[in-house]
Amino acid sequence: MSFDEERMSVVLSDGRTLGIPLAWFPKLLHARPEQRRQVTISTRGLHWEDLNEDISIAGLLAGRRDMTRTPPQAA
């Protein structure tokens, strides 16, 4: 896994590389580089303890972004 200014790159066990926009995950977008590096990788996903962020591999493959944000309320 690696990061640049705009994206997170995740290499899967089958050799595919996913490029995920950091804008999809605001906690990662606004995190310091050292915070981004503090990730725990499991068979189910990615976890950042200090950022309270969890991202599933299934979600990344499905193209899902941060699901914790709620849409704005209609007036």
Distance CA 12, CA 45 (A): 11
* Across 43-59, average pLDDT: 93
| 2-62: in CATH 3.60.20.10 | no
State the pLDDT at residue 22. 96
Residue 16 CA from chain centroid, whole number: 16
Return the biggest CA–CA distance within the chain. 47
Query: For residue 24, is pLDDT > 80?
Result: yes
Average pLDDT, the chain: 90
State the pLDDT at residue 69. 62
Neighbouring residues of 53: CB distance < 8 A, sequence distance ≥ 6: 25, 27, 28, 46, 47
Query: For residue 72, is pLDDT > 60?
Result: no
* Across 56-72, average pLDDT: 81
Listed by start position, the domains of the chain span 2-62
Task: Summarize pLDDT for 32-41 with one digit per residue, the tens.
Answer: 999 999 999 9
> Sign of the C-alpha dihedral, residues 3, 37, 30, 18?
positive
